[in-house]
Structure 1
Amino acid sequence: MLRKAYEVALDNIDEGLIIVDGEGRIVYLNQVQLEFDELKMKEINGRYTWDVYQFNREISTLLKVLETGQSFGDYVHYYITNGGQYVRVTGNNFPVTIDGKVVGAVAVYRNLKKSEEMVGKIIELQKKLHQHQMEQGMASFDTGSKKKYYTFDDILGESEHIQEALSWARRAAVTESPVLLLGETGTGKEMFAQSIHAASNRSKNPFIAINCAAIPESLLEGILFGSVKGVYTGANDHKGLFEEADTGTLFLDEINSMSLNLQSKLLRVLEERKVRRLGGKTEIPVDVRLISSCNLEPNREITSQLRSDLFFRLAVVTIKIPPLRIRRNDIKLLVEYYINYFNELFGKKICAVSPKIEKFLKDYSWPGNVRQLKHWVECAMNLVPENENILDENYTPKEDHIFNFNNNKPQEKIEDGPYGIKYRDIVNQIKEQECIKIKEMLERHKGNITKAAHEMGMSRQSLLYRLRKYGMK
């Protein structure tokens, strides 16, 4: 009964499954894999996988797992099914051990057709939304503005650090050189990217932006470079973002999250100014100005996440966007701007902030930078009554332990609630606890990142990002 239950469960999951014995002979394929490859279990039972799928024995990933006893994956695999169809899958292989001896292996495959169709739809929706926003002037906070993109005038700040960044960006805008924007989360990297595009001679041409960390590695290549019909089941001719951005600007946000393999392909495109679609044989010329960004220091990026040759190719012009904590003199200007904006949006009449609020706003470190400041002002403006004209501590977010107005020092010991430690200590403890949890999961699964990520309820890519972020090996 239990065996039958296992078979029913395995036949009704989304992934294809292949199980082989210690010699590489097929023991079991679930119904998903059989239908996908157009095979019948009675015809392949006991045969070697390389004979069934007609490939060289030496490149068998399952055989590699049997020989080493180590898991293998996450990888992208192309092959031809029994029915003659080209397919593209992601695969993970795992050893089966009994009493310390490898007695078989399991391969888990996911067809990328549905995932890529979904991502394609998402990209199309993002493009339509972006176009609608541009038409409505959403990119600017100024009511009634019909500007297509942020411009340098939208970037507020009088401090030396922000003015230096703006000066560099304005000079870079009139050239064709690649630009690398370095800055923490919330400092306004895309505002700078759009402003550079808007001030360039490409301003009337496309501006395409994509967050490299938001797209799975297995799909990002096709999204960037496109694909041709037949490269995998259901694939059609599809333009990549390089072609979409032709004659314009392509902004690659969080480029440090891109895999090393994809980085090498990106480097080739930048050097040759030609792109080859996934599965294609011809190279397509592209004229694209590339702007990229990352949120870590460049020295750390070179050594841990970015190929050095790609870094120097991207960082012809490097612009450091300062965090809000080192441009505190701009906080008052930004707060006044956001108050005026939300006054009009919410129908409020706030004309000033209290001295106590002003001091706390200026003293706080703002780890989320300008974005966090904007969201805090928006929250406070939701709380203040319509008949009030001064924003004071009575109308600030009460549950946000960042601001304790009964204490003269922000981030010092919090008297109310269970938090009897400094704010920075809370952040450090969160990081420490996460590192301990990651280490514990990796030890439990003997270094297998895929299994550890699954148990932690996150994607493999997210766990890899945290390993790089915390410098864990």
Structure 2
Amino acid sequence: MEGTKFYDSGDFERFDYSTIFAGFHEGVLITDRFGVIVFYNDLMGKIDDIDKDYALGRYVYELYDLTEEQSLSMICLQQKRPILNKPMFYRTHLGRAINAINNVYPVFDGGELVGAICFTKEYQMTQEIFSTALPKGIDSRARKNGTRFSFADIIGAGTDLSESVRIAQMAAESPSSVLIVGETGTGKELFAQSIHNFSSVRNNPFVPINCSAIPENLLEGILFGTSKGAFTGAIEKAGLFEQANGGTLFLDELNSMPLSLQSKLLRVLQEKKVRRIGAHREVELDLKIISSVNKDPHEEIQNGRLRRDLYYRLGVVFIQLPPLRERNQDFLRLVYHFVEKFNTRLRKNVSGVSAEVQEFFGKYHWPGNVRELEHVIEGAMNLVGRDKVIEKNHLPHHLVRLSGNMDGAPGGLDTAVEGQPQGPDGLAKGRAWTDMAANQLSLAKLDELHRDAEKVIIHRALTLSHGNIARAVKILDLSSPQALQYKMKKLNLQRADFIQQNKQQR
């Protein structure tokens, strides 16, 4: 394929990539000769867990935690020859880890290099296909039921997170289905595993599947199982529903599942029976279903990516996970949890982060949430050497490049003591924490101010909407009516008061 001519002009915009590559069962990424991404298909977005619009127009080494010398696309552009069947483990700049097999080809126009095209097949996805998506890898903490986490592993004490934990623990005692809503990296699977391990079926299997990582033509067989002879090469194989029978099935990123398969899933949930592809016999099911979506489910319904009837069936118990940028009270606690974690794993003796790093963290918007924070800390501690404090020069280069574009977006705590490492939970860490306690607002006070501000804003929205919950949700740009009702209950705001106020004004 070396020297392949894809078009008659070096102008990439004149070439219709979508027609050819959109339906590929491999991730496809195309860069121009400078390494700028000009095409990025949907499956590549699923592999990377990155929105296509976010990827386009960025340098390829900005999208991934790689240098120009490590990026296969950049190497291909420099060497002007293909890179074939190259296995590679890498992370996106949002923290997602990917194990993939890549084929990268240079693209020429009349003998002149104009770009490179990379085909990516996720190795993890291939393993899931053959292992029917059972939990991956071996972990020293792994339980026999396929989990690693419990509620004790959830770090934080903020009001919203504590309420999510409370709801999750109550949901664990019920056979009803649970829907977890949260952005990428907020800990949806951590919550799902914790619910399972808090339930009466904790000794039975916990079986997860990422609905976005498996091609549509394979997903049905993986979920429902196959019967020998159903199609060429089909073997007698139990699907995930059968494997999770008696325990918990976790459908991660449900909104990525094709609508045609969502209707079949709904039937299985209604009938509580599953039939393997090509089989005549149905298997009775007795299991708990936990699912997750990474976007507002109501918007996904409106956009035609999630069936409304399936949402009502799976969203009996609704758990909203707050993004990291809203977890001010927990931010330092998380930072130092990861510092201690990687001190042990990497045999380091890091005591904290500098004031400059804390200020940087406070302004960064953390699109990858807790997962991204964890990988940033891990990356920094690999570069810290014998230093005891994480400085800004230890942070991943792609993160530091963003600092020039940040304009004070809300993130973690923006309080620090100049020149001193900061400690977790507001606990003393040398004189720095004593000084901070004397000169800065306490975490409790900050939480109180946040609560007061939130109450004023919600009160205003309810006044404008005359107590109409649906209209207030739109004004506040919240994810769901349930999210607003939860906040109203927390803030002791009664809808009836605003309806009555409207009547009096008339």
The normalised TM-score by structure 1 is: 0.57
1:235 aligns to what?
234
Provide the C-alpha distance between the structure 2 equivalents of 1:250 and 1:288, rounded to a whole number of angstroms.
Answer: 7
Change (3 A) 1:257 1:398: closer
Deviations 1:270-296 (A, max 9, x none): 111100111111211011110001111
Deviations 1:79-126 (A, max 9, x none): xxxxxxxxxxxxxxxxxxxxxxxxxxxxxxxxxxxxxxx968744285
**Aligned amino acid, residue 400 of structure 1:** L
**Aligned amino acid, residue 124 of structure 1:** S
1:127 aligns to what?
134
1:306 aligns to what?
306
Provide the C-alpha distance between the structure 1 equivalents of 2:257 and 2:282, rounded to a whole number of angstroms.
Answer: 22
| Runs of 4+ displaced beyond 4 Å | 118-121, 145-148, 406-412
1:322 aligns to what?
322
Provide the C-alpha distance between the structure 2 equivalents of 1:381 and 1:203, rounded to a whole number of angstroms.
Answer: 35
Change (3 A) 1:331 1:147: farther
- Whether contact under 8 Å (2:192, 2:290) holds in the other structure is yes
- Whether contact under 8 Å (1:149, 1:198) holds in the other structure is no
Provide the C-alpha distance between the structure 2 equivalents of 1:126 and 1:226, rounded to a whole number of angstroms.
Answer: 12
1:371 aligns to what?
371
Change (3 A) 1:173 1:408: closer
What's the offset of the Cα at 1:239? 0.6
Of all paired residues, the percent bearing the same amino acid is 46
Q: Where do 1:138-287 residues align within 5 Å?
A: 138=142, 148-287=147-286
**Structure 2 runs not aligned, ≥5 long:** 1-124, 411-506
Deviations 1:366-416 (A, max 9, x none): 011001101111111111122x22222242334434554x8995579xxxx
**Structure 1 runs not aligned, ≥5 long:** 1-117, 140-144, 413-473
**Aligned amino acid, residue 217 of structure 1:** E
Which structure's CA Rg is the greater one? 1
User: SS at 1:214's partner residue?
Assistant: coil
Change (3 A) 1:408 1:148: closer
What's the offset of the Cα at 1:261? 1.6
**Aligned amino acid, residue 339 of structure 1:** V
1:382 aligns to what?
382
1:137 aligns to what?
141
Provide the C-alpha distance between the structure 2 equivalents of 1:242 and 1:127, rounded to a whole number of angstroms.
Answer: 12
Change (3 A) 1:335 1:248: same
What's the offset of the Cα at 1:328? 2.1
User: SS at 2:134's partner residue?
Assistant: helix
- Whether contact under 8 Å (2:178, 2:291) holds in the other structure is yes
Change (3 A) 1:210 1:382: same
Change (3 A) 1:146 1:291: closer
Deviations 1:330-356 (A, max 9, x none): 110001010111111122111122222
**Aligned amino acid, residue 332 of structure 2:** K
- Whether contact under 8 Å (2:366, 2:372) holds in the other structure is yes
Change (3 A) 1:159 1:285: same
Q: Where do 1:410-449 residues align within 5 Å?
A: none
**Aligned amino acid, residue 157 of structure 1:** G
Provide the C-alpha distance between the structure 1 equivalents of 2:375 and 2:128, rounded to a whole number of angstroms.
Answer: 30
Provide the C-alpha distance between the structure 2 equivalents of 1:326 and 1:235, rounded to a whole number of angstroms.
Answer: 48
**Aligned amino acid, residue 317 of structure 2:** V
What's the offset of the Cα at 1:161? 1.3
User: SS at 1:348's partner residue?
Assistant: coil
What's the offset of the Cα at 1:250? 0.4
Deviates more, 1:260-269 or 1:146-155: 146-155
User: SS at 2:149's partner residue?
Assistant: coil
2:391 aligns to what?
392
Q: Where do 1:344-363 residues align within 5 Å?
A: 344-363=344-363
- Whether contact under 8 Å (1:335, 1:377) holds in the other structure is yes
- Whether contact under 8 Å (1:256, 1:306) holds in the other structure is yes
Provide the C-alpha distance between the structure 1 equivalents of 2:213 and 2:348, rounded to a whole number of angstroms.
Answer: 37
CA RMSD of aligned residues (A): 2.7
User: SS at 1:400's partner residue?
Assistant: helix
- Whether contact under 8 Å (2:133, 2:208) holds in the other structure is no
User: SS at 1:184's partner residue?
Assistant: coil
What's the offset of the Cα at 1:193? 0.5
Provide the C-alpha distance between the structure 1 equivalents of 2:252 and 2:233, rounded to a whole number of angstroms.
Answer: 29
